[in-house]
Structure 1
């Protein structure tokens, strides 16, 4: 069979594009060689035998836990096992949750220092901690989605999508 990698470049970080990729993934994966799997997250690292392109799979409960494949930079298998690539659907959902929270709240600095030891920032009004630590606390208590784990890679860069 022929390589189809060029037909499946990075997808837009929106629900329609993710569902479309979930639907296309079984056909994509048939052509790839499995290099490694991660047990708990059920992720796979694969490679195209024709062009050498690396791929990873992802799953997200919001999308029915459907498996979707996406192209990733080349990586040593052991390094991937230690830290797989960030899953684009999780990155998109994180960005949406952050955008919603920031749209509904304002963070005005107060005259008080952040209550976290050695933090140089000012606490925000109505809180004893700075904006960064306030968000972190909300994430710890499950009130905001935590930043997804994984290696960032182009085109899904360090800035969470809005």
Structure 2
């Protein structure tokens, strides 16, 4: 990344970090150049010409569609247009739902857990897995549970 990371660190998995960054975003964006708008109409990619850093703008729907930006690795426009970076707000919502779901002891005893979770997602009863290009510090293995491993551990 670059020098901005010290002032604007990667967003932690807490709701208040999204709200705080949304308040900072107008000031951050003012120093950046818009280089692409995503076809989904929700995301934009910016570049800081002084530092060569890249930033992605997203809308946090669970926060009332608040716009916020975050540092991302350098990427070609073609690659970004085909798959934007994953949004921290989506990760926060998903991780919170998973943690809440598995606090109930009965949910840890379900057989065929992976299939069960997929059915809940398909029915709209559980958030779908976040979509987008993963990048550090947002690592798939730290967000998306290995349901088969969880089931084996809980039902051993």
TM-score by length of 1: 0.81
Paired residues of 1:13 and 1:161 also in contact (CA < 8 A)? no
After TM superposition, what 4+ stretches of structure 1 lie above 4 angstroms from structure 2?
none
Which residue of 106, 109, 122 maps to 1:107? Answer: 109
Larger Rg: 1
2: CA distance, partners of 1:70 / 1:161: 21
1: CA distance, partners of 2:144 / 2:41: 23
Q: Which runs of 5+ in 1 are unaligned?
A: 109-123, 125-129
1: CA distance, partners of 2:144 / 2:67: 21
How large is the RMSD of aligned CA atoms in angstroms?
A: 1.9
Question: Could you say which residue in structure 1 is the equivalent of 2:33?
Answer: 33
Question: Could you say which residue in structure 2 is the equivalent of 1:12?
Answer: 12
Paired residues of 2:3 and 2:51 also in contact (CA < 8 A)? no
TM-score by length of 2: 0.84
2: CA distance, partners of 1:70 / 1:40: 18
Question: Could you say which residue in structure 2 is the equivalent of 1:160?
Answer: 143
Once the two structures are TM-superposed, the CA of residue 161 in structure 1 deviates from its matched residue by 8.3
Q: Which runs of 5+ in 2 are unaligned?
A: 146-156
Which residue of 109, 113, 118 maps to 1:136? Answer: 118
Once the two structures are TM-superposed, the CA of residue 41 in structure 1 deviates from its matched residue by 4.1
2: CA distance, partners of 1:42 / 1:4: 26
Alpha-carbon displacement from aligned partner over 1:39-58 (angstroms, at most 9, x marks no partner): 32420011111010111011
Question: Could you say which residue in structure 2 is the equivalent of 1:22?
Answer: 22
Structure having the larger proportion of residues in helix: 2
What SS is found at the alignment partner of 2:95? helix
Alpha-carbon displacement from aligned partner over 1:97-139 (angstroms, at most 9, x marks no partner): 011111121135xxxxxxxxxxxxxxx1xxxxx2111111110
Change (3 A) 1:161 1:96: farther
Alpha-carbon displacement from aligned partner over 1:23-68 (angstroms, at most 9, x marks no partner): 0000000111111111324200111110101110111221111110
2: CA distance, partners of 1:39 / 1:77: 12
